Amino acid sequence: MTNPYAPPRAAVQDVQDPSDTLVPADRGTRLGAAFLDGLIFGGMVYLPFLLSGILTGGFPGSARGSGAGVFVLGIGSLFTLAGLGTWVVFTVKYVNENGQSIAKRMLGIKVVRTDGSPITLGRIFWMRNVLNSVLGIIPFYGIVDALFIFGEARQCLHDKLADTIVVLA
């Protein structure tokens, strides 16, 4: 016979904390991803513009600058915009899917919240990028931000501000 005055009971299963299964990304891999992301962005956005200017002499003030050179420079600008658009599409797609930039996807790492939950595009954009860029006006902030990676949690200062970690994907 059950006691009608007993407190309610529930069958509870033990669950594993998702942060226990997360493996922090190696510092070198994170550095490589940052470097590779810069190369990818430069190759997709700046390279078409620079190549068109160099090949045609179409930069203002150049000795070979002519009408044809300026036209080709305009074409280079269109390729630059196309490259920027392509970069934005892939970056937004990968961040929404799995918290990864193009290089992070290539190197098998991703950004998640410290509790292991997926990160949102807004948090990456506002907390990891915009806020970090604004704080970059403070002298030596960039150095301090990067040196935080050598802590036990392997979190840069921008990771701590955004409540994120970079882990193996």
Task: Name the nearest CA neighbour of 154 among 18, 20, 31.
Answer: 31
Angstrom distance (rounded) from CA 114 to CA 117: 7
- The per-residue pLDDT string of the chain (169 residues; one tens digit each, 9 = 90 and over) reads 788 888 888 887 766 555 568 999 999 999 999 999 999 999 999 998 888 777 766 655 555 555 555 566 677 788 889 999 999 999 999 999 999 999 999 999 999 999 999 999 999 999 999 999 999 999 999 999 999 999 998 999 999 999 999 999 9
Angstrom distance (rounded) from CA 99 to CA 109: 9
Per-residue pLDDT at 75: 77
- The domain locations on the chain are 24-168
Per-residue pLDDT at 118: 94
CB atoms within 10 A of CB 55: 12
Q: Which residue is associated with the tokens 């002499």?
A: 57
Per-residue pLDDT at 6: 87
- Buried b or exposed e, range 123-162, using 16+ CB within 10 angstroms: bbeebbeeebeeeeeeeeeeeebeeebeeeebbbbbbeeb
The answer to whether 74 touches 62, Cβ cutoff 8 Å, is no
